Structure 1
Amino acid sequence: MATGTDPSAVAGSTGDPAARGVHHASRAAIRERHLRRDRWWLAPAATAAGLFAFVVYSTWRAFANGDYYAAPYVSPFYSPCLAHNCVPMPAGADWDLFGPWWGLSPALLVLIFPLGFRLTCYYYRKAYYRGFWASPPACAVPEPHAKYTGETRFPLILQNVHRYFFYFAVLVAGVLTYDAVLGFRNADGEWGHMGLGTLVLLANIILIWAYTLSCHSCRHIVGGRIRNFSRHPVRYRMWGWVSALNARHMLLAWASLVSVAVADLYVYLVASGAFDDPRFF
């Protein structure tokens, strides 16, 4: 084309962007809010139902303030028991750090840490943002909110404390590990025994450790800020292990959520006298 030639004079060109199918100022005129025809709503609905069921159950058990210890088992919702009004437990299981002034359920003193860890967890944030707030409800489905600010304002900006809740979650997992070890005793405190509750608490703590160590914050602590992995072979190997767990973070999040509820329910049923704990030896 010669310099100065009018584009409208070129064969097949009209000079009008709209006539050539080029739209710069607006999107295509599609009436539907999205084009998905599958049951996209099923996943966020199931997530919301599962999380809501756990919230209802854990709230009931947290305020129940009873039937959380059946020797040698203690519910993970009430461990460590930090209040003066804890039921009598073996030495070390109840720490009485808050004295007699605390009259509410002891579970309210400890559940804030594991629940805070899960509430600020990257996966759970995605789960309940989609399930409860529809932000967004699913891929390729627009959210109903007219304005999006992300996690830059109060209260969602507090999600950044997740890394600190991780440290408390590790401490709580350590206490629950101690409780699982105590499960190898009988009601009289004699070692070398095992019941069905022992296996329940053992499975629960394994899943809790797997979920906790698969956390993104743990992965960053182990392998973050390293410019050359070859100079840190131990941390690199640990980072590889955590990364393998991190790939299953969603599965471990749900599995540990179910296991902690099952462990609490089992202790509650035994403590309330619904049935006796089967002892293997």
Structure 2
Amino acid sequence: MAFLSEANPESVDPKRALLSEFFSEPGFVVRLHDGVWDEAALQRLLSAQRAYLTSPRDAARFERDVAQAFWLPHREARRYCAQVAPSRSNDPCERGCEQLHDMAYWLFMGEPVSLDDAVFAQMPSASPALSADGLKVRQAMLDESLAEDGFLLRLRCELEWDRDGFARLVDAMRGYVAAQGEVGWLDREAAEVFWYVEWFVPQWVSRPNFPRKLAPEHYEQAFDDLRDLAILLFVGNESHATRQEQTP
């Protein structure tokens, strides 16, 4: 998929440069799927991500392709490192995963961006807002993710896997995905929930001091559910997502 203009590459904006690098054939994720950790490709991607993050932009929302260009490299790098170098420390895998995490954190957790009126006026308008019902679904999901008796706070603070709380959170996330539909723009606060739970929950539950009282299959299925929801929001195309997941 070509995004760059060969006639005048210097005029390409940071978003287009990011997507061009992410979707390129010798790109970092493609090389991972070939079983190769390409440090040069990683550094090109990180540079493109950083340029996008530091450019004038609407930090409250971003396009689905942009979210994918931050989420998928972070996820695939973690998968690669877990499979290829699970016991190594201070190697390129560990450093690269940390760098990709930092870039994704910046996008999904939010970073103040100063826009003057002239710059803001030149930015493309976002997609139509969610309907009134859609906004209620969005707020319900955010409320569930932050609830004091909700799954995430109990998981982190009490080291407790609340099955009912998990079911409520997943149902709320599914409702948001349905309300979002194929809209090309994502709300940052909502996207943050999907990004955060997909990487944090497996990492936290895998810690040695976490009391895993249920069968291993229960947790693995839960991790798969969170992954699938992230795919639906950030990638959207289930057939493409399936190919990504099935690649060794």
TM-score range relative to shorter protein: 0.3 to 0.5
User: TM-score if structure 1 supplies the norm length?
Assistant: 0.30
TM-score normalised by L of structure 2? 0.32
Answer with 1 or 2: which has the greater Rg: 1
